[in-house]
Amino acid sequence: MRRVGLVLALAALSPTLAASRPNERQILARPFPMEAAPSFPGGLFHWVDSLAGTSGGKTVPAYRRDYVQRFGPIGDDDAVHLRAFAALRAQRPTSYLLGVFCSARGIDDALTSVKAELPPGAWDDLAAALAHFRTKYEVIWNDGEIPRSFLERARRDPSRKRLEALLSKIVRFYRVDPLTAPPPRLALVPVPSGFGTHAEAIGRVLLIEIRREDALADEASVIVHETSHFLWGLVPPDRQRRLAEHASSLGPAAPRIFALLGEAVPTALGQGVADRMFDPRRWSIDGPWYHTPEVDGCAKKIYPLVQEALDSGGALDEAFLDRVFRAVASP
C-alpha cells in the first residue's frame, strides 16, 4: 500500500527500530514529523507470517520463492513451527502482534510486550518459531542494508518538496491537525525484487516493504496511502459519525459504498494522485491499483473527484460524499 511532513529516523546498524542522530532523521519538514527506520523485529515477524501463509500481504509468494532459492525447500522442522505460528495467528489477530513487533527495539522486547496477551502455550510457540527462523532471516536482513540504503537516498532526493506539498494538501482534505497526535512511524522491511510491495497501517505504525532498487518516488504512493489511513483516524468521532449518517441517506447501496471508501479514498490518493505525480510514465488508470477488484474500481471512479478536491482546497465532507456516491453508482 503509503503525507504532509515526513521525518525519517535512520536506524543504527543494529537490527532494531532504534533512534538515530537528529540530523539523520528528518527528510521532510512539514507539517508534521514522521519517523522511519529499518525494523528487524517487524521484518522477522512479517517474514514468518508470510512463510506461514497467514499474512494479509500480497507478497507472500515472493517471500516463499526467495526462501526456497536461498535455503532450499521448507523442511519438516520448519513446517512444525509454521503450523504453530498459523495456529497462533488464528487465535490472535496478526495486525496487533505485527504492530508490537514493528514498534519494538528488539525481539526480546516485543515478546515481553505480548506475553500477557497470549496463552502460555501460544507465547512459547511464537518465541520458538521466531528463534527457529531468526538465523536465516538475519542473512536476508543483512544489517538492514536495503531499507538503510533507501533512507540514505531518500534524504537526498530532490522530490521531497513535492511530497511535502502533496501531503499538505491531503492533511487539508481530511481537515485534521496532525500535530495534536503522536506522528506515525514507518517500519521498513526488505522484500525481494521482481514483485510488488505490501504496506499496512496498524494504528500509527506503518509497515512498508522496500525493494533494493526503490527510490522515494517508488514509495511515495505507499507513504501517501498509509498516511491517509492515519489521518482518517484523526477525524473526530462525531464528524465520522455525521459522515456515516449522511452517507446512509444516499440510497440502499450507501452502506456498501461507504465501507469501500475506507480503502478506496487512500487508494485514489496514493495509487492515483501520488503515483501519477511521481511515476507518470508507468502510471495508468487501467493498471491495478488495489488487490481487490471492488476497491480498485471504486478508487478509479472517485479519483478525479479526489484530485479536484486537492486542487481546489476541498474537504472530505458531506458535499464530497454526494459527488462520490453519484460517481460510484454510475455505470
User: Can you read off the three cell numbers belonging to residue 6?
Assistant: 515526513
Q: In what order do the strands lie in the sheet with 185-190?
A: 35-38, 185-190, 205-210, 199-202
Closest CA to 130 of 156, 92, 98, 153: 98
197 near 59, Cβ under 8 Å? Answer: yes
Per-residue pLDDT of the chain (331 residues; tens, 9 = 90+): 433 333 333 233 334 444 344 435 566 667 788 788 999 999 999 999 999 999 988 899 999 999 999 999 999 999 999 999 999 988 876 688 999 999 999 999 999 999 999 998 999 999 999 999 999 999 999 999 999 999 999 988 999 899 999 999 999 999 999 999 988 889 999 999 988 899 988 888 889 999 999 999 999 999 999 889 989 999 999 999 999 999 999 988 888 999 999 999 999 999 999 999 999 999 999 999 998 999 999 999 999 999 999 999 999 999 999 999 999 987 7
Between the CA of residue 253 and those of 142, 320, 328, what are the distances in Å? 50, 17, 10
User: Can you read off the three cell numbers belonging to residue 329?
Assistant: 453508482
DSSP state of 206: E
| 300, HSE (Cβ side, Cα atoms, 13 Å) | 16
- Judged by DSSP in three states, 208 sits in strand
pTM exceeding 0.75 = yes
Closest CA to 169 of 4, 21, 284, 308: 4
